[in-house]
Structure formats: structure tokens, C-alpha cells
Amino acid sequence: MSATSRTRRPAKSPLHGAAGWANLRGRHLGSVAFLTNRVTGLLLIGYLYLHLGVLYLRTEGPGSWASVLHLFKNHYFLALESLLILFILLHGLNGLRLALVGTGVGVRHHKTWFTAAMSVSVALYVVVVLAMFGVI
Amino acid sequence: MTATEERVSSPQTAGTPLTRRFLVTRRRPDGARSRVDEFEVAVGPDTTLLDALREIRSHHDRSLTLRYSCCHASCGTCGMRVNGREVLACVTRLDGLGPGPILVEPLANARVEHDLVVDMRDLYDSLEPAGRPLIRQDERLAGTETDAPVLPFARYEDCIECGLCVSACPIVGSDSLYLGPAALTAAWRTVQEPRGADPSQVLAWVDDEQGCWRCHASFECTEVCPSGGDPAGATMALRRELTKRKLGRIARRGRRER
């Protein structure tokens, strides 16, 4: 009963494999949760590299950094940054749900967990956006 | 037979027949590209998908290949995808599929033998290492009383090995080495009721990155199971059991070192 006794299905190309988990046709809420976590995770990784790139500009001198700070105060940039908060909330709270369900806690209520996680994420996101744009 | 051939059959049921359009995926075993054939079939209020496919085979295209046997969701041989969702054709009523054309495809994540028939050997082989403990509920002796402790496991006794769960799993779709929900369910069944098998050996088998930890909890396997089983729940139960045993080992080691 070792790993070598496993059956092997035909190997698929990475693109075909990605299409396998990204296809939501005929799928249910669990797949939406699964895809949400993957997409937000990939976006957060992308942001991490962008963040490192921006930090690198500090080595270019004060003038370069001042122009970056000016960009940060732009409303369009703030809107994009608010999306970052949304992705962190979605990924983090959905990840917490996965950690619980994945170790056998509340498995039968996984849809309720997901709905709750998404609702809290959106509620917190609205508060953050209002705070970012000085409404509250 | 062209890719868009359309014919209308005679009504098979009493009352006013309704015509439904079927888009059936066709694939020959010679490796040629798959194509979609179109058929129009007269259906009644109780027509099932299997009825319609048999009608197509009888009156439109004798070469359509499909597999079925019991016609009452017991044998698990007529699994296929309809409008992207895994179903047993014999118990899928057409009036439950909504309006519009009905796209019929073979199960995913398995080699297609011909048209709607896939190779099930991978599924059956994946159950072997778990001791293949799946016994159907209707194989119990008639008239015997059910032991109370057996009831929690009854759902796994009902596995008909149809492969819908494997087809619906997005991880099986992207990782050819993943054990898959059917095998993990069988493994959990053995852990729960070993019947002479060694549960720790089964747990060791599923305890790696291609085993129960590979599952990403999309729960599609549980959604499509025609027997009301819970393969995702079984997978999570395996994780819980492994976590419990590992934490127990750490605690015991800590006590010994003190």
C-alpha cells in the first residue's frame, strides 16, 4: 500500500489542469469558494511582487520616492488599494473557513461558513472604503 | 452522420409531446477529435435522459455508444455530464433540466472509450488499496435488525462506484496522481470499520500530498453523489483522524521527554 500502488490517470498539460479547476459550468457553491481562494491568492502574490517593485524605487533617491508617494494619494490608486483590502479579507476569512473545514470542524456547514466569510468580508470592505475616502 | 444532423422522432409517450434538442458529444476510439451531434427528440413529462438517449440510439443513430444496465440508480454505469453537471442518466428527468438544449458529455477525468462511455478501470483500481470495503445497503440480509453503530457508516455502504465524484473533482482534473474522492471515501470506510484490515496502513496510504491533504474542499463530490454519500466529509474525517493521531504522538513524546 505505497504510493507506487496508485493508479495514474493520463497526465495533463498545466493549462488543461488549470482549466479543470477554473471551469464553474454546472458547479456548486463549494467550487465558487475554491475558485475565489485561488484567484485572490494569485492576485495577492502578484501584489507582493508589485510591492517589492515599488519599494525598490526607494533606492532611486528621494525625488523618485516623492513621485511614488504622490501617486499613492491619487483616488484611482486608492480605489485599487481598496481592492487589495477586499482580496485580503476574502482570502483570509475563506482560508480560515478552509482551515476549520479541512481538519474536520463544521464540515456539514461549509456553505454557511463560506456565506458568513463573504458577508463579513464585504461588510468590512465597505467600512474600509468609507474610511479610506474620508466618509467616516 | 454529420455534426449537426437533426431528425425528429415519433412521440413515445401519451399526451402532448414536447421536442427537446440534444447536443451529444461523440468521440471515436481511434483518437479522432470529438464532435457534437445534434438530435431532436419528442419527450413526455416523465422521460429520463436515458430514455431520450436510447430513443436517439434506436431511431436516429445506431452508432451512439452509451452504457447502462439497471435503470434505477443501482448499478452506477450510466454516469455522464449533462449541461456540465454529473448525473446518472437513468434517474435524471428532462423536465428538471430547464429549458434550452441539453448538452450531454462523458464523465470527465477518465479516458473516453467511445462517445459517452469512459474507462472505469482507474476508479476500480483506486479502490483496491483501501481493501474495497464498499458493500451496498441492499445486500444486507432481509429482516435483520441494523446494529446502531453501523448506521453512521451506511452512507458509504451505498457507494455504487459510478465515478461521478471523480468526474466532478477539480483537483482530479488538475492532478493525475491525486487519489480522488472515491478512493479516500473507501479509505475512511476502512478506518471506521476495518473488518480485519489495518487502519494505520490505510491512513499511511492517504497521508501525503497526493492523498487526503490534496483535497481543496470544493465539495463537488458530495454535491453530485447519487447515493447521498459524503466523499468530502470522509476526506475531512481522514484529515481529522490523522491530525488527532499526530497531535497525540507529539503529546506522548513531550511527556516522555519531561
Report whether pLDDT(A54) > 90: no
Looking at residue B7, its pLDDT comes to 42
Outline which parts of chain B fall under CATH 1.10.1060.10.
121-257
Question: Is the distance from CB of B40 to CB of B22 less than 8 angstroms?
Answer: yes
Among chain B residues, CA nearest to A23: B170
Domain boundaries in chain A?
27-132
Outline which parts of chain B fall under CATH 3.10.20.30.
18-118
Report whether pLDDT(A48) > 90: yes
Looking at residue B221, its pLDDT comes to 96
Q: Which residues of A touch B85 (CB under 8 A)?
A: 26-27
| Region of poorest pLDDT, from A96-100, A111-115, B132-136 | B132-136
Written as nine digits, the cell of B157 is 455502504
Interface residue of B161, B224, B236 to substitute, partner A, most A CBs within 10 Å: B236
Q: Quick check: B179 and A12 CB within 8 A?
A: no
Q: Which residues of A touch B192 (CB under 8 A)?
A: none
SS (H, E, C) B68-131: CCCCCCCCCCCEEEECCEEEEHHHCEHHHCCCCCEEEECCCCCCEEECCEECCHHHHHHHHHHC
Among chain A residues, CA nearest to B209: A3
Architecture in CATH for domain B121-257: Orthogonal Bundle (1.10)
Banded model confidence at residue A136, pLDDT cuts 50, 70, 90: confident
Task: Give domain B18-118's CATH number out of 3.10.20.30, 3.40.47.10, 3.40.50.1370, 3.30.465.10.
Answer: 3.10.20.30
Architecture in CATH for domain A27-132: Up-down Bundle (1.20)
Looking at residue B5, its pLDDT comes to 43
Averaged over A12-19, what is the pLDDT?
71
Sorted by sequence, the CB contacts under 8 Å of residue B172 that are 6+ apart come out as: A9, A20, B109, B166, B178, B180, B181
Looking at residue B8, its pLDDT comes to 44
Looking at residue A118, its pLDDT comes to 96
Average pLDDT per block of 10 residues along chain B, 258 residues long: 43 64 92 90 94 97 96 94 96 93 95 94 84 51 58 62 94 88 91 82 93 94 92 94 93 89
Q: Quick check: B218 and A101 CB within 8 A?
A: no
Looking at residue B147, its pLDDT comes to 57
Banded model confidence at residue A23, pLDDT cuts 50, 70, 90: confident
Q: Which residues of A touch B170 (CB under 8 A)?
A: 20-21, 23, 31, 34
Partner residue facing B129 (CB), from A1, A21, A26: A1
Interface residue of B83, B164, B188, B216 to substitute, partner A, most A CBs within 10 Å: B216
What is the reported pTM? 0.81
